[in-house]
Structure 1
Amino acid sequence: MKVRDLMTPNPVQIAPETAVAEIARILIEHHINGVPVADTEGCLLGIVTEGDLVHRAADERLEPRESLWKENFYRSMFRRRTPAEPDKAEGRTAEQVMTRDVLTVAPDSNVIMAARLLADHNIKSLPVIENERLIGIISRFDLIKRLASNADTFNPMSED
């Protein structure tokens, strides 16, 4: 079975200048855990997930961790960052909070490979790219839906 068979085509996507509050509204409104960031031609630039947005709450609402001073020290001393690049907690737009190094799959990739990427990297969805353009997204939920309808779907020994 191919990714094309299970992916959600034409996923919700946002522009790099989309405000963080709008991103949160989109995630809630569409019941999704992440939204791809694409340019005007549909090329994937990154993805904003609920994990990217949690940085805002973590900095403001959680009590300091025992090693917080270490984290701040290492971040300030060893992280190479240009002054224009804010921390995710400080970012105001998709471009400033998005994850840039995104794992992707092709529509003709095997679903088992996509499932392994999701599991091995502990991520919830993978953008589907064809001809350098975002054409879909496949998520854990898509795989579970298929599994619920056919328990033998992901038998590694099957030929489909």
Structure 2
Amino acid sequence: MNVEQLMTPHPITVAPQTPVAEIAQLLLDHRINGVSVVDREGRMRGIITAGDLIHRAADERLEPRTSIWKENFYKSVFRRHPEETDKDQGRTAMEVMTRDVHSVEPHTDIVMAARLLVDFDIVSLPVLQNGRVVGMLS
């Protein structure tokens, strides 16, 4: 059995400039876990999952922080790539997406795809053909 037999064809995708609020609404409306971020030609640029957005929702509902200064200090010291916007500060798909994405092709054996899902603890696996998103395996 291969991925093409189990994938969701024609998955919902978003453009890099799509606002985060719109992405969250898409996930809720369609009851999906993630969307691929694609360029104008349909080529994969990244992925956004509910996990990428969930901390934002929690953050908005929590009590005010006791020390904004301390939080900002730790972020500045321990940030891996200071030139990049923090995901919790991002406003568009491009700013919050995960760029290093595991993916498979339609003819990939389902056992190999399952191994990727388990080994990398991921729940959405884009299916690419010639660099373009043709499906999603969840």
TM-score range, shorter chain: 0.7 to 0.9
Asked which structure has the greater CA Rg, the reply is 1
SS of corresponding position for 2:18:
coil
Question: Which sections of structure 2, spanning at least 5 residues, go unmatched?
Answer: none
Where does residue 152 of structure 1 map in the other structure?
none
Deviates further, 13-22 or 48-57: 48-57
2:127 & 2:21 partners in 1: Cα distance? 26
- One-letter identity of the residue aligned with 2:107: D
Kept after mapping to 2: 8 A contact 1:2/1:110 = yes
SS of corresponding position for 1:89:
helix
TM-score (norm 1): 0.76
Deviates further, 71-80 or 29-38: 71-80
SS of corresponding position for 1:135:
strand
Q: Shift of residue 21 of structure 1?
A: 0.7
1:102 & 1:74 partners in 2: Cα distance? 27
Where does residue 18 of structure 1 map in the other structure?
18
Per-residue displacement from partner, 1:81-132 (whole Å, max 9, x unpaired)?
21xx321111100001111111000111100111111111111110001111
Per-residue displacement from partner, 1:39-67 (whole Å, max 9, x unpaired)?
01010000111111123134344469xxx
Number of aligned residue pairs: give it. Answer: 135
TM-score (norm 2): 0.87
Question: Which sections of structure 1, spanning at least 5 residues, go unmatched?
Answer: 140-160
Where does residue 116 of structure 1 map in the other structure?
115
1:130 & 1:114 partners in 2: Cα distance? 15
- One-letter identity of the residue aligned with 1:81: P
Structure with the larger RCO, 1 or 2 (CA within 8 Å, 6+ apart): 2
Say if 1:5 and 1:75 are closer, same or farther in 2 by CA, change over 3 A: same
Q: Does 1:129 align with 2:128?
A: yes
Q: Does 1:102 align with 2:101?
A: yes
SS of corresponding position for 1:36:
strand
